Amino acid sequence: MKEYLKASSLDEALNLLSKDSQLKVLAGGTDLMVQKHAGSLSDVRFLDINALPSLKNINEKDWGIAIGALTTYRQILNSDLVLAEFPLLAQAARETASVAIQNRGTLGGNIVNASPAGDSLPVLLVYNALLELQTQKEKRNIAYTDFHQGYKKMDLRSGELLTQILLPKGNTWDRSYFKKVGTRKAQSISKVVMAALLKMNGETIEDVRIALGSIAAFPLRCRFLEDFLKGQQLPLLKREELDRLIEQNICPMDDIRSTKEYRLQIVKNLVWDFLKA
Ligand SMILES: Cc1cc2nc3c(=O)[nH]c(=O)nc-3n(C[C@H](O)[C@H](O)[C@H](O)COP(=O)(O)OP(=O)(O)OC[C@H]3O[C@@H](n4cnc5c(N)ncnc54)[C@H](O)[C@@H]3O)c2cc1C
């Protein structure tokens, strides 16, 4: 049996996956090749989908934009469409890894790799992204918020490919915020990553979305904070009150990259920085 197969069309890829659901989809390979080198994928057979042009485009629709799952970070950060409508995604792509990885790594790979520290993931949460998933027999769309369900656990069915990431437009925001905190500026895995959007009506917070990565088993929207902030007068916010709320609702993970105490302090600093910047 061949260890490596390469699909030349979406139909062929879906057909091969329908016959052998054990095949491991290979996109840019920037996560998979690290895992293979570490020996954790020794018996795995790969299905390379990199040659599927239909999954490599960013297309404007009347409702928003559709990003093919194989779109690379480089394409994203060079896209006028993304820059104009979803600037946080371009910023996350710019701050991901190095130029070499940006040329190869894909948005779809970042999502399905499901690292709690995936930098694009909090951005997809605040933009209310949808995912298009496809098998040979059916196509379905789900809200990205429902996709990750636990550590590396996700709503991806047997024989299914992630084909597109859909970003609905229609909201205008007064402030867009993305911050990644790591050991150093370049090439570091986030200890905390935050994406947030703010819409004001005079001095009142009309709408706000905040998402955090590298805090729990998968990136999460901070609904408790959003609910608290909506309707508040921005100039009257008190840092002590916000800090207390964050302490009561967030218990970050402790791992080799950082401690829960440090992560909690960073979250408090970032939330305040976002609101008061
Ligand atoms: C040096 C280095 C630095 C890095 N820095 C960062 C960083 O700063 N921030 C960050 O978030 N990540 C970083 N990464 C991780 C990685 O580059 C990203 O997660 C990247 O987006 C993975 O995309 P890929 O196409 O290479 O995925 P692959 O390695 O090809 O695949 C990853 C996983 O997704 C699955 N998969 C891929 N595409 C699909 C699809 N369309 N449908 C179904 N399953 C699919 C694969 O089966 C596999 O399980 C770094 C990696 C390296 C090696």
Q: Is the dihedral of CA 82, 87, 89, 92 positive or negative?
A: positive
Contact between residue 75 and residue 96 where contact means Cβ atoms under 8 Å apart: no
- Would you call 150 helix, strand, or coil by DSSP? strand
Answer yes or no: is the C-beta of 164 below 6 A from any ligand 1 atom.
no
pLDDT the model gives residue 30: 97
Q: Is the dihedral of CA 45, 51, 54, 56 positive or negative?
A: positive
Answer yes or no: is the C-beta of 212 below 6 A from any ligand 1 atom.
no
CATH code of the domain containing 107: 3.30.465.10
The number of distinct structural domains making up the chain is 2
- Would you call 163 helix, strand, or coil by DSSP? strand
Q: How do 220-221 and 204-213 pair as beta strands?
A: antiparallel
Location of structure tokens 């009257």: 236
Q: Which of 4, 21, 22, 30 to mutate to test the pocket of ligand 1 (most atoms within 8 A of CB)?
A: 30
105 C-alpha vs ligand 1 centroid, how far in Å? 6
Answer yes or no: is the C-beta of 119 below 6 A from any ligand 1 atom.
yes
Partner residues linked to 153 by β-bridges: 150
Q: Whose CA is nearest to atom 50 of ligand 1?
A: 97
Q: How do 161-168 and 64-68 pair as beta strands?
A: antiparallel
Answer yes or no: is the C-beta of 44 below 6 A from any ligand 1 atom.
no
pLDDT the model gives residue 43: 85
Q: Whose CA is nearest to atom 2 of ligand 1?
A: 97
Answer yes or no: is the C-beta of 29 below 6 A from any ligand 1 atom.
yes
pLDDT the model gives residue 74: 98
108 C-alpha vs ligand 1 centroid, how far in Å? 8
19 occurs within a structural domain: no
C-alpha to C-alpha distance for 140 and 273, rounded to whole angstroms:
38
260 C-alpha vs ligand 1 centroid, how far in Å? 25
Q: What angle do CA 105, 252, 224 make, to 5 degrees?
A: 95
CA distances from 36 to 29, 103, 161 (A): 10, 20, 21
The answer to whether residues 162 and 215 belong to one domain is: no
Contact between residue 54 and residue 31 where contact means Cβ atoms under 8 Å apart: no
The answer to whether residues 163 and 184 belong to one domain is: no
Q: Which domain holds residue 187?
A: 175-276
The answer to whether residues 244 and 158 belong to one domain is: no
In order along the chain (277 residues), what is the average pLDDT of each group of 10 residues? Answer: 89 96 95 92 92 96 98 98 97 96 98 97 98 98 97 96 96 96 78 97 98 96 98 97 97 90 97 94
30 C-alpha vs ligand 1 centroid, how far in Å? 5
Answer yes or no: is the C-beta of 97 below 6 A from any ligand 1 atom.
yes
pLDDT the model gives residue 124: 98
pLDDT the model gives residue 1: 59
Phi, then psi, of 145 in degrees rounded to 5: -55, -25
28 C-alpha vs ligand 1 centroid, how far in Å? 7
Q: Whose CA is nearest to atom 48 of ligand 1?
A: 113
**Ligand 1 atom nearest residue 72's Cα:** 25
- Residue that finishes a domain, picked among 147, 168, 189: 168
Q: Which has the closest alpha carbon to 43: 26, 30, 28, 24? A: 24
pLDDT the model gives residue 185: 67
Structure tokens at 37: 């080198």
The answer to whether residues 135 and 228 belong to one domain is: no
46 occurs within a structural domain: no
The answer to whether residues 160 and 195 belong to one domain is: no
The answer to whether residues 186 and 253 belong to one domain is: yes
pTM of the model: 0.97
The answer to whether residues 214 and 133 belong to one domain is: no
Q: Whose CA is nearest to atom 37 of ligand 1?
A: 109
C-alpha to C-alpha distance for 107 and 118, rounded to whole angstroms:
10
Structure tokens at 124: 């997809």
Q: Which of 23, 31, 70, 212 to mutate to test the pocket of ligand 1 (most atoms within 8 A of CB)?
A: 31
Q: Whose CA is nearest to atom 12 of ligand 1?
A: 118
